[in-house]
Amino acid sequence: MSQKSPTPLRSLIKTAVAIIGASAMLLVGGVSAQGVSAPQKAVSSAPPVARGMYSNEQIPNTIEGNVQDWDGDPAVDMFVHLVDGQGSVYRSAQADAQGNFSFSELPAGDYKLRFVGDENYETQWFDGKFSQSSARVLTVSDSVGWSVDANVRKISGGAEDLEIRANFHEPDGDIVVADVEVYLFNANLEEVENLQSDEDGNVLFEGLKAGSYTLCYQADGFDYVCLDTATDAESAKFIWLDEFESADYNFSIRNYGTVSGLVTGANGSPMVDAQVFFYLTDRFGQLAMWDGFGTTTDQNGFYETRVGEGSVKAVAAPAYSDSPLVPQW
């Protein structure tokens, strides 16, 4: 099975071959007063767990794949649970010595994959999610099957002195926001700790073990929000900490709105898993700053996310490519 590697956005921008067209100038209103997470620096943030995902008409009614840890080693004996549209485990398998697994002769319908290993691994859903509700849906039929490549996090042992630091401020960055309630959750969606930002807008979570974490917060007069712009921990982005690194975040507290759209290729077909990023613009329409992490399109090329109040531009780029590609506005 060939492996497709994600192409970094910066590399995409530097190339000269345009492949997709996605253009949007959006005026986002403050639908409700919530904070938008805008990390200035994120050390050791977890990249998308999916290494590749593609339909295969040669294997209808089948979901097959390969699972590895982040060192590139096969996740031998990893249990792979196939969960049906009703939320029940329809079938289970163990990855072989090469990390391969397969579910064949499946009834047409929607399925999700859950990876469960021993105490050395974090339990995860495909692709890179920690809850069933946010996991990727794989729809099979008599004409469509799926091949997936996935990575699972192997927890480093022994580290118990890691830190996550965060600072909260108003959009211009000059005024800090104190007394923000900040909640830290682990990969099991358990609340690890709850702190308040100090008079300088700072919060420090310390003594953490290696693993995946997410932050949720609520400022006075603003709604509850999680990384990045999610409404709850289940759908939030996660921070990966290993035994050698910590993480720093800066959060801008402001209003935001919801934007959505469709990304298509040059032939008009939907682009699956395309990366969509949002940039705030000034009153002259010039780019001012990157707003949050962005999002990816679903199986129909559709995206929906929340961005900061004001005018924004959206840029889209293919998520996986074997040749140089450049995003377009």
CATH of domain 50-152: 2.60.40.10
What was the pLDDT predicted at 284? 53
Render pLDDT for 129-178 as a digit per residue (tens, 0 to 9).
888 888 888 999 998 899 898 888 877 565 678 899 999 988 766 789 99
DSSP string spanning 243-296?
TT--EEEEEE---EEEEEEE-EETTS-B-TT-EEEEEEE-TTS-EEEE-S--EE
Q: What share of the chain is helix, strand, coil (3-state, %, to 5)?
A: 5, 50, 50
Listed by start position, the domains of the chain span 9-32+256-317, 50-152, 162-252
162-252 architecture in CATH?
Answer: Sandwich (2.60)
pTM: 0.60
Render pLDDT for 92-119 as a digit per residue (tens, 0 to 9).
999 999 999 999 999 999 999 999 988 8
Residues 6+ apart with CB under 8 A from 175: 169
Render pLDDT for 268-321 as a digit per residue (tens, 0 to 9).
888 887 878 776 665 555 555 444 456 778 878 888 876 666 556 667 766 544
Residues 6+ apart with CB under 8 A from 164: 184, 204, 205, 208, 213, 215, 239, 241, 246, 247, 249
